[in-house]
Copies of this chain bind each other. A is one copy, B any other.
Amino acid sequence: MTTQTHAGGTTQRRAALVGTGLIGGSVGLALRSLGWHVTGTDEDATVLARAVEVGAVDATGVDPDAELTVVATPVSTVAQLARQALERGGVVTDVGSVKAPVVADVAHPRFVGGHPMAGSEALGIDGARADLFSGATWAITPDDHTDPAALSLVHGAVRSMGAEVVTLDPLQHDRLVATVSHVPHLTAAALMGVAERRSAEHPALKRLAAGGFRDMTRIAAGDPRIWIDICNDNSEAICEVLDGLVESLSELRSIVEQGDSGELLERLEVAQVARRNLPAGAPDPEHLVEVRVEVTDRPGELASITTLATEADINVYDIEVVHAAGAAAATLILVVAERDAGALSSALELSGRRPGVQPLGEA
């Protein structure tokens, strides 16, 4: 079979799941609700049976005709399972929390790394929901090897499940999630550990733990095993961010010890403003336009353009690659908010391309 950017008329689109836990099961429910045919496998027969029961898959087993396979297993197993799926054909993506080692390991034009930022607590298949990704951010991490049609297919499937796509270089992704996910998790565990030791001296401590402390340690209640893989695979970025946090806490300690109220207020105000500016979920619906640009249809071309959009903080709502019959070049269509179109065009022009902007859906 060949990959395809769009569903072919009346033919039902087919996806395969490798792993049918919380994330795999939710992908199955979401794609089935969109009309896809979904098959699934899981090394745990009980989990797979439950996936059938909750309607996350149409059938069990592998599907040689699947145009998209989603590997939703622990990070350490992804590369091997992705290679097996690639041998069967179609486009393959994964949902792991660390991307650079997996993308480098698989190194295949039809493999596009992915990472939905949702459902990190290990609830399993019973927590699966068709709307788990609605409004969530879903990172996808193409690289120089990525086939444009594969990237476009994954981008479209992710968007259709209601997620906001952020396209990132795999290494950049790993550095950013070290900051917003991995180190915060280790910090929650450290705070809980410090409190636990103090609690052994004075049991009333836990009764004093109000909402703020509960919020800050909530993620420490999740399954620790998934963090072993993550810390192994992303150790360099995690250590770098931990260094920054330890330095920042040590500075705060000096400021508190010296009673430097001015400096303390300044730091707390910076954090206050930053926290208040943190976007709350999906942005408002916006007036969308198309930015069109001619590209050579070679691996990496599309990845470099979409990561360029991400670097300019531009949300790409949809990607389409249109081939003129017999031509080596193709037209790339990026759907973005109207207010971002100018910035994206400028960035594309700076990279030597000649973009055009037009209303959505015109020929």
Contact = CB atoms under 8 A, between A and B. Distances in A.
Interface of A: 117-118, 120, 136-137, 139, 164, 166, 168, 172, 175-177, 179-181, 183-199, 202-225, 227-228, 231-232, 235, 238-239, 241-246, 248-250, 252-253, 256-257, 259, 261, 264-265, 267-272, 274-279, 310-313, 315
A172 B202 contact: yes
Contacts of A232: 259, 261
A279 to B, nearest CB: 6
Contacts of A197: 244
A133 to B, nearest CB: 11
A187 B216 contact: yes
A162 to B, nearest CB: 15
Nearest to A173: B208
A274 B193 contact: yes
Q: Which of A179, A218, A232 has the most CB of B within 10 A?
A: A179
Q: Main SS of chain A's interface residues?
A: helix
B245 A250 contact: no
A82 B178 CA distance: 48
A246 to B, nearest CB: 5
B245 A192 contact: no
Given A221-B276, A224-B265, A311 B212 contact: no
A277 to B, nearest CB: 8
Given A228-B264, A232-B261, A196 B245 contact: no
Contacts of A268: 189, 220, 224, 227
Contacts of A218: 212, 215, 275
Contacts of A220: 268, 271-272, 274-275
Given A189-B271, A231-B256, A245-B249, 15 more contacts: A137-B208, A184-B191, A187-B187, A190-B252, A193-B271, A194-B241, A203-B312, A215-B216, A217-B271, A217-B275, A220-B274, A220-B275, A232-B259, A232-B261, A243-B253
A143 B153 CA distance: 69
A224 B269 contact: yes
A90 to B, nearest CB: 27
Contacts of A274: 192-193, 195-196, 199, 220
Contact of A185 (B202, B209, B212, B315): B212
Contact of A242 (B137, B184, B252): B252
A191 B187 contact: yes
Contacts of A277: 206
A198 B212 contact: no
